[in-house]
Amino acid sequence: MDELGRKSVDEFKKAPKTPIIVVLDNIRSMHNVGSVFRTADAFLVEAIFLCGYTPQPPHRDIHKTALGATETVDWLYFPTTFEAIQTLKSRNYTLFAVEQALGSISLEKFPEPETKIAVVFGNEVEGVNAEVVNLCDGCIEIPQWGMKHSLNISVAAGIVLWKLAEYRFNQTETN
């Protein structure tokens, strides 16, 4: 384990964060929530905003997939996603729904973020609420070539957060 260079909880808390906030819009599955926490930890994401009926830690089923990431990643609960978005806008975040929508930006063409961003992931069945999409500055779409054209929210979060964090890690390596 020492060779992996893992941070302690204290080192994680003190480490510079990737300026990304993840917003979970009415996610049903505790396993999906735990998985997003774990991914957010992996990429040093700033925080997760849990909205609506999205399950909140502490809970055994969240912990099962988070593997301790609920102790490292900061999170806040909002009764509605609208409230979370208002908070983010007041803090000058640019907001993107991860959703297939008219005018969405394909992830591989998404430009390097120049500002703090928040990405909204939606319900496993319904996706990001249409009213929430309308409050965002744009949509990011993950290109897909198969029949289904949908991904589990935890998989989508992993793909999107890697791409967005990649810019930061590439800059760190060149400096």
| CA–CA dist 174, 33 (Å, integer) | 33
What's the pLDDT at 16? 87
**pLDDT at position 3 over 80:** no
Q: Are strands 138-141 and 45-51 parallel, antiparallel or unpaired?
A: unpaired
Nearest CA to 48 among 132, 56, 114?
56
What's the pLDDT at 51? 98
What's the pLDDT at 61? 94
What is 2-139+149-174's CATH number?
A: 3.40.1280.10
Helices 30-42 and 153-174, interaxial angle, to 10°? 10
Helix or strand holding residue 9 (H, E): helix 9-14
What's the pLDDT at 171? 62
pTM (2 decimals)? 0.93
**pLDDT at position 2 over 70:** no
What contacts 134, CB < 8 A, 6 or more positions away?
Answer: none
Q: Where are the domains of the chain?
A: 2-139+149-174
pLDDT, tens digit, 9 for 90 and up, residues 86-135: 999 999 999 999 999 999 999 999 998 888 999 999 999 999 999 999 99
What's the pLDDT at 173? 55
What's the pLDDT at 40? 97
| CA–CA dist 38, 136 (Å, integer) | 25
- Strand order of the β-sheet with 75-78 is 75-78, 45-51, 18-25, 117-121, 94-98, 138-141, 105-106
What's the pLDDT at 175? 55
What's the pLDDT at 172? 56
pLDDT, tens digit, 9 for 90 and up, residues 35-93: 999 999 999 999 999 999 999 999 999 999 999 899 999 999 999 999 999 999 999 99
What's the pLDDT at 112? 86
Query: DSSP letters along 26-56, please?
Result: S---HHHHHHHHHHHHHTTEEEEEEETT---
What's the pLDDT at 99? 96
